[in-house]
């Protein structure tokens, strides 16, 4: 499961504090206003000026020649591997990668690719682990065509790959004739947290994308960037997958609004995540992974409350979060305030005391 939220209970109070995911953000009034005023055209034939502007801006932001607007981050990943690989090829990624566990097997179903899961702490494999997984080109083994990283690593705890590790992985990939793909669903969280510009972070990566429907707060969309030739090929897959749109400027306007107003403020989400982790860590028996960005993973079992029970009890207080791969994940975002974080910590403390 992507995540296991508490069972739906008709008697539960409304959700007041939504820590389930940064996908839960609602478009702000200003964002809706920008959407309503958007100049639009037929995106499919390249005539939507707002989509075109968004693509230019993201290409510039990521330091690439070109970019394309997609309905989702998943389609960015899928279209990218469909361009990079041929049937029977192997993609190397961390074993917790979204492309392995959360895209419905798309890379196998649509492309005929296999993904080699690499091990490593916190959602990241080391350059040495990557090097050790490479084999010479023989007719026995699958061609190893692409290496993929998630910046930030979602299930890894929203962790940030260091620029040095990214550069080393690129160098190894290039020396072995491989393409490099960056799943940057939360790349801007990493750039805000480190101060390293997105173009630097993505330098050397043949394809990179950012999601607008996560912490950036837009309702729809991801933008995939790369060389002009790569993006031409991606367009063919966008068409084939049914991702070519019409007056998509309405959605792109929300993304442009997010670039202008919702990037720097990601720092607030990171501060809220740190405050949540600090508060939880002060409760005896709760094991918390130190957050690097906006995702906080913790286990309350040591305090005598299993994760499922904690999630269910918090829901009774109007706090929504979920189990994810055996731990609880709390996600801070645009619609989460520091007062909500304090309230959540208070509820957790009470639930532990009552147990």
Ligand X SMILES: *Cc1c(COP(=O)(O)O)cnc(C)c1O
| In the complex, minimum distance from the CB of residue 249 to ligand X, in angstroms, rounded to a whole number | 19
Give the interface with ligand X as residue ranges (CB under 6 A). Answer: 72-74, 77, 98, 150, 154, 183, 185, 211, 213, 222
Q: What are phi and psi of 298, to 5 degrees?
A: -150, 160
Cβ contacts of residue 13 below 8 Å, gap of 6+?
Answer: 316, 317, 318
Of 23 and 308, the one with the shorter C-beta distance to ligand X is 23
Cβ contacts of residue 181 below 8 Å, gap of 6+?
Answer: 77, 80, 81, 84, 91, 146, 147, 148, 149, 205, 206, 207, 208
| In the complex, minimum distance from the CB of residue 294 to ligand X, in angstroms, rounded to a whole number | 11
Q: What is the number of other CB atoms lying within 10 angstroms of the CB of residue 213? A: 24
Of 189 and 272, the one with the shorter C-beta distance to ligand X is 189
| In the complex, minimum distance from the CB of residue 173 to ligand X, in angstroms, rounded to a whole number | 19
Of 256 and 305, the one with the shorter C-beta distance to ligand X is 256
Contact (CB, 8 A) for 258 and 279: no
Distance CA 268, CA 277 (A): 14
| In the complex, minimum distance from the CB of residue 347 to ligand X, in angstroms, rounded to a whole number | 26
Of 48 and 150, the one with the shorter C-beta distance to ligand X is 150
Of 101 and 114, the one with the shorter C-beta distance to ligand X is 101
Q: Environment class of residue 119 by beta-carbon count within 10 Å: exposed (0-12), middle (13-18) or buried (19+)?
A: exposed
| In the complex, minimum distance from the CB of residue 72 to ligand X, in angstroms, rounded to a whole number | 4
Of 186 and 317, the one with the shorter C-beta distance to ligand X is 186
Q: Which residue is nearest to ligand X (CB)?
A: 73
Distance CA 116, CA 126 (A): 15
Contact (CB, 8 A) for 98 and 76: no
| In the complex, minimum distance from the CB of residue 180 to ligand X, in angstroms, rounded to a whole number | 16
Of 85 and 348, the one with the shorter C-beta distance to ligand X is 85
| In the complex, minimum distance from the CB of residue 338 to ligand X, in angstroms, rounded to a whole number | 24
Of 41 and 219, the one with the shorter C-beta distance to ligand X is 219
* Strand-strand pairing, 90-94 and 144-150: parallel
First to last CA, the chain: 28
**If phi over 0 gives left and psi between -120 and 50 gives alpha, with beta otherwise, what is residue 201?**
alpha
Cβ contacts of residue 123 below 8 Å, gap of 6+?
Answer: 94, 96, 97, 150, 153, 154, 155, 156, 157, 159
| In the complex, minimum distance from the CB of residue 150 to ligand X, in angstroms, rounded to a whole number | 4
């Amino acid at each position: 499961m992507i995540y296991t939220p508490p069972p739906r209970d008709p008697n539960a109070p409304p959700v007041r504090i939504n820590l389930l995911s940064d996908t839960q953000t609602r478009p702000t009034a200003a964002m809706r206003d920008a959407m309503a005023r958007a100049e639009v055209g037929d995106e499919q034939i390249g005539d939507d000026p707002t989509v075109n502007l968004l693509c230019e801006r993201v290409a510039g932001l990521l330091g690439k020649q070109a970019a394309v607007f997609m309905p989702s981050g998943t389609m960015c990943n899928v279209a990218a591997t469909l361009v990079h690989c041929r049937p029977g090829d192997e993609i190397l990624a961390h074993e917790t990668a979204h492309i392995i566990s959360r895209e419905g097997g798309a890379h196998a179903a649509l492309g005929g690719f296999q993904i080699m899961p690499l091990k490593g702490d916190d959602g990241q494999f080391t350059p040495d682990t990557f090097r050790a997984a490479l084999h010479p080109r023989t007719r026995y083994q699958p061609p190893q065509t692409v290496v993929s990283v998630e910046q930030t690593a979602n299930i890894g705890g929203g962790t940030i790959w260091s620029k040095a590790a990214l550069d080393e992985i690129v160098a190894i990939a290039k020396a072995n004739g491989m393409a490099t793909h960056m799943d940057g669903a939360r790349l801007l969280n990493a750039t805000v947290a480190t101060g390293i510009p997105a173009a630097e972070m993505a330098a050397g990566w043949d394809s990179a994308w950012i999601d607008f429907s996560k912490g950036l707060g837009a309702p729809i969309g991801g933008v995939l960037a790369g060389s002009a030739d790569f993006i031409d090929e991606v367009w063919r897959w966008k068409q084939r997958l049914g991702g070519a749109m019409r007056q998509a400027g309405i959605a792109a306007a929300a993304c442009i609004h997010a670039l202008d107003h919702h990037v720097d403020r990601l720092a607030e989400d990171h501060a809220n995540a740190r405050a949540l982790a600090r508060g939880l860590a002060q409760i005896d028996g709760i094991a918390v992974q130190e957050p690097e960005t906006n995702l906080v993973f913790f286990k309350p079992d040591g305090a005598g409350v299993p994760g499922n029970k904690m999630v269910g009890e918090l829901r009774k207080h109007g706090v929504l979060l979920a189990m994810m791969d055996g731990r609880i994940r709390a996600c801070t975002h645009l619609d989460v305030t520091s007062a909500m974080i304090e309230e959540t910590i208070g509820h957790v403390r009470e639930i532990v005391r009552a147990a």
